[in-house]
């Protein structure tokens, strides 16, 4: 017996005004250049909160506080010190550009804006699980330093939160739609974006499951503090749980073709 049935109904849908910016939307992991953020843009982004009973977006221009930056940077270490997360990452990490282009999936190493030493170490991780586990603390240390530089080069931050009490799966879908619209608004203004997940996405599961969540004790302790840091930083209400974070600024990339693969024929 099928779990669900999907039926299509023919109708006329007006093309969204942001549609034409889809090909300009990409993830930019480089360090950003300073940029002045127009207050009208902030108002436009937060206007998407109107009549939204599932999720919210809060915008903040300028740098984050030192405590929030420290927390988010430390959270990036989680990927390397927690073996389950580390192995999951390398299951979709692609070193070969040929393999990446052929299969059109995963994360290509070239898109991580790594220095040469970082590329060498990262590529060694793929070839040897033993080596991966042995030098994970070193990679975690490098990741924290790199993340801190990324946060401190940003001029705008958006945090997307789920409203407590809303139906979880529907809320996550609606949050994805909200984030996509905001991302296109930023692409329209030629503002670079990098979604940041490590210190934010686990917070919903943490709030729902508490100590029953399958994470190391030190990671759980860090994440519990993270809810407080982010709530204070972005003036979130007690009814909002942070779920996704965007860092934004002016791109420093010279070659925009390295950021992602595109299928122009899908969007014509």
The pLDDT tens digits of the residues spanning 195-232 come to: 998 899 888 888 878 777 888 888 888 888 999 999 99
User: How do residues 218-268 score in pLDDT, each as one tens digit?
Assistant: 888 888 899 999 999 999 999 999 999 999 999 987 765 555 655 554 444
**Residue 180: per-residue pLDDT:** 96
What's the order of all strands across the beta sheet hosting 240-249? 55-61, 156-163, 240-249, 192-196
User: φ and ψ at 201, to 5 degrees?
Assistant: -60, -35
- Classify each residue of 148-163 as buried b or exposed e, where b means 16 or more C-beta atoms within 10 Å of its C-beta: bebbebbbbbbbbbbb
Mean pLDDT of 95-104: 74
Mean pLDDT of 51-64: 96
Indicate if the pLDDT at residue 108 is higher than 90: no
- Reference 61, options 87, 82, 40; nearest CA is 40
Per the model's pLDDT, the better-predicted residue between 89 and 59 turns out to be 59
pTM of the model: 0.85
User: How do residues 72-85 score in pLDDT, each as one tens digit?
Assistant: 999 888 777 778 88
**Residue 2: per-residue pLDDT:** 61
**Composition of the chain by helix, strand, coil, percent to 5:** 55, 15, 35
Please count the other Cβ atoms lying within 10 Å of the Cβ belonging to residue 165.
9
With a pLDDT cut of 90, the percent of the chain lying above it is 44
pLDDT, the chain, mean: 85
Report all structural domains of the chain as residue ranges with CATH numbers, in order of start.
Answer: 19-266 (3.40.109.10)
- Reference 22, options 187, 158, 182; nearest CA is 187
Mean pLDDT of 2-15: 71
Per the model's pLDDT, the better-predicted residue between 65 and 86 turns out to be 65
Contact 122, 136 (CB under 8 A): no
Mean pLDDT of 175-199: 95
| Measured CA angle at 47 (ends 201, 241), to 5 deg | 25
User: How do residues 35-56 score in pLDDT, each as one tens digit?
Assistant: 999 999 999 999 999 999 999 9
- What is the C-alpha to C-alpha distance for residues 30 and 111, in angstroms, rounded to an integer? 9
């Amino acid at each position: 017996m099928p779990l669900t049935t999907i039926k299509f109904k023919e109708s006329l849908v007006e093309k969204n005004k942001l549609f034409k910016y889809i090909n300009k939307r990409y993830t930019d992991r480089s360090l950003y250049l300073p940029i002045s953020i127009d207050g009208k843009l902030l108002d436009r982004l937060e206007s998407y909160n109107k009549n939204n009973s599932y999720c919210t977006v809060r915008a903040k221009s300028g740098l984050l506080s030192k405590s929030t930056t420290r927390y988010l940077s430390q959270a990036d270490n989680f990927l390397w010190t927690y073996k389950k997360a580390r192995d999951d990452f390398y299951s979709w990490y692609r070193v070969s550009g040929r393999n990446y282009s052929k299969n059109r999936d995963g994360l290509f190493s070239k898109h991580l804006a790594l220095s040469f030493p970082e590329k060498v170490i990262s590529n060694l991780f793929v070839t040897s699980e033993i080596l991966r586990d042995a030098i994970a603390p070193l990679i975690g240390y490098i990741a924290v330093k790199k993340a801190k530089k990324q946060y401190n080069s940003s001029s705008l931050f958006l945090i997307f939160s789920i409203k407590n009490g809303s139906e979880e799966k529907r809320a996550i879908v609606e949050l994805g739609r909200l984030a996509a619209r905001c991302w296109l608004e930023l692409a329209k203004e030629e503002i670079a974006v990098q979604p940041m997940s490590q210190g934010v996405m686990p917070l919903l599961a943490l709030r729902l499951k508490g100590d029953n969540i399958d994470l190391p004790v030190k990671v759980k302790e860090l994440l519990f503090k993270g809810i407080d840091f982010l709530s204070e930083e972005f003036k979130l209400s007690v009814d909002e749980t942070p779920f996704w974070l965007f860092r934004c600024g002016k791109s420093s990339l010279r070659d925009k073709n390295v950021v992602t693969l595109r299928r122009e024929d899908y969007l014509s």
